[in-house]
Structure 1
């Protein structure tokens, strides 16, 4: 069971917007939080530009990308954790490049094979744009979301509605939600070459339906990661169907995403998971 904590960064510097704090302060805070999670027994962390709301579909500002690379590199250098990068909203190329340059070991990408409607606009699949990078610089694990939070999947909707409600659908003896999940997962694994699949709820801090997680696990030949909404009271509902968990909101002060790490909450969560695994 892989337990990964999220380092929610404040607004980062860019060529158009000043940061909320000096880059040195952000580095120190990120390293401090990562070191605390390492001491508590967490397996890894994701460095995420959470404070850069509202999110651009793709981050292209050179100062923001450089800042993320420097922060990530310092966390890699100062801990032995498995470090990952997430560049919201769907900057997969940038995240992968940062991982290569910083020594991070994985990236999280919200949309690899799905077209999404989001508050950032229409987001197209990132997998084709990663092809050359992943071939030339292999070794970075790709964690890909399916039906990601804060979004509606046009790919899933159109595929399901077309095949379930048309003549073609009747010819293939109907098209179930389970089959739709199977097809999306096959696209993720066979076309986008993901290493792990992330399942989330509808928004940050919101857990997915346990039935959805179980359904994904049933048809996936890749490890399944619970990607949002986990806490000590509900993790028991997922533990049999997941291979890992990404925990962000609960382990922050007052359980609010974007707040500093709360060591006591982080300790309670990992102890709860470890106790469940012993049963």
Structure 2
């Protein structure tokens, strides 16, 4: 019998969350040590804030969480991040996972996939989000190169192959003109070819909705699960679930709809009511 180079991948959304049409809430952390707006507060305050956000999400009924260092804006490129970022993210993610008792992921901005994998390994997290896994583009932070080859080898070296990679395709906050000869279909295929476990579709910036035609293109271009990673709200989630296996949502669940605000429990409950109807 011949042997294939690649083994079939299970549906990672189903495997992690026990369902498709899953909802993943985002914890936007306070500024971490080493970032421009860190004011010297004890790190315990950072951890307590993240855990309080996790409780609000969990009590509202979301299926999973992802921890992001969004308070570190303006973001630095991966090789400009100090070790303190991964160190604090590791403790924070571990506390969030234990507090919420939900599958938990990590996103280290900007595009810090090595740091995210190290954090996930230390914290027992289930997945990482990578804004540029394959190819390259011009981001707010400058030229951003996909590090799939290096990251996949690092993941294997630290025995973290159980940590799934959720890779953005045509990610927000950037220009893709340098790979303009690669269509959205080909960019999606590239992410799968470079061994991502799921792909993510976004709008142009945080809080902007993904376009349904782009979502449909991505869905028909891959056998991997497809997630929407920005702009999901009660008005569009049913239509999005016509194509997506899961959504990553934050702004619509925050007070006044601002990503920088705390999670609003009433918004979470209302959103999950809409999701339950959409699932039915």
Measured against the shorter chain, the TM-score band is: 0.7 to 0.9
8 Å contact from structure 2 (residues 36, 73) kept in 1:
no
1:253 corresponds to: 255
1:31 corresponds to: 51
TM superposition score normalised by structure 2:
0.87
Summarize the Cα distance change of 1:33–1:16 in structure 2 as closer, same or farther, 3 Å threshold: closer
8 Å contact from structure 1 (residues 114, 153) kept in 2:
no
Cα shift at 1:21? 3.4
Give deviations 1:75-96, integer Å, cap 9, x for gaps: 1222310100001111000001
How do residues 176-215 of structure 1 correspond to structure 2 at under 5 angstroms? 180-191=183-194, 193-215=195-217
Q: Give distance in 2, aligned partners of 1:230 and 1:13.
A: 30
Give deviations 1:139-179, integer Å, cap 9, x for gaps: 0010000000001124541x24xxxxxxxxxxxxxxxxxxx
Q: Which protein shows a greater Rg? A: 1
3-state SS of paired residue (2:192): helix
| Match of residue 243, structure 2, among 241, 244, 249 | 241
2:108 corresponds to: 87
Summarize the Cα distance change of 1:147–1:34 in structure 2 as closer, same or farther, 3 Å threshold: same
Give deviations 1:22-64, integer Å, cap 9, x for gaps: 2111111211211221222211111000011111011521222
- Do structure 1's residue 140 and structure 2's residue 163 form an aligned pair? yes
3-state SS of paired residue (1:88): coil
RMSD after superposition: 1.6
Q: Give distance in 2, aligned partners of 1:231 and 1:13.
A: 32
Unaligned regions of 5+ residues in structure 1, if any? 161-179
2:14 corresponds to: none
Unaligned regions of 5+ residues in structure 2, if any? 1-20
Give deviations 1:191-229, integer Å, cap 9, x for gaps: 2x1111100000000001111101111121001001100
8 Å contact from structure 1 (residues 149, 201) kept in 2:
yes
TM superposition score normalised by structure 1:
0.88
- Do structure 1's residue 151 and structure 2's residue 174 form an aligned pair? yes
1:217 corresponds to: 219
3-state SS of paired residue (2:272): helix
| Match of residue 55, structure 1, among 62, 65, 75 | 75
